[in-house]
Amino acid sequence: MKFENYMMLEFPSKSTNEGFARSAVACFAAQLDPTMEELGDIRTAVSEAVTNCIVHAYPDGLGVISLRCRILKDNVLDIVIKDRGVGIENLEQARKPMFTTGGAERSGMGFTIMESFMTSFQVTSKPGKGTTVHMRRKLQRRK
């Protein structure tokens, strides 16, 4: 698929980088002139995806998180967040609301939140190889 612009980042799975990733995507998305609501939805979805990498993909140490954003035709923001961590054994179960492997302090709503804020949402994972979250958000053209 042809794109109009793109950016790629790679950073360690430190919790301090969640805010960095969220802000970087918001800055990149600004060229599409999103509403504050659209921008908030995008920031939240990215935050959830990166937090999942930090908490679940690398439970015993630091790893690498890759982030790619593209501007596609028709005002579509395309976001891919990828880790090379432990992967997800049972993806169907992991996508169910309230399911978590992160302990009592985790809500288990990350995938549900990401899906609700995006136009399209897909997650793929291979145990021992990592997880990829692919999200798209079509933004309204403002006059």
The first and second tokens of residue 31, run together, are: 């060229």
Task: Yes or no: say if 21 and 67 are a contact pair by the CB < 8 Å rule.
Answer: yes
Task: Give 73-114 as a DSSP string.
Answer: TTTEEEEEEEE-SS--S-HHHHTSTT--SS-TT--S-HHHHH
In this predicted structure, what is the pLDDT of residue 3? 84
- Going by C-alpha positions, the residue among 78, 66, 75, 74 that lies closest to residue 21 is 66
What CA dihedral angle connects 49, 52, 58 and 62, to 10 degrees?
Answer: 60
Q: What is the pLDDT of residues 38-78, one digit of tens each?
A: 999 999 999 999 998 998 899 889 999 999 999 999 999 99
Q: What is the pLDDT of residues 12-46, one digit of tens each?
A: 999 999 999 999 999 999 999 999 999 999 999 99
Residues known to be catalytic:
48, 52, 106
CATH of domain 3-138: 3.30.565.10
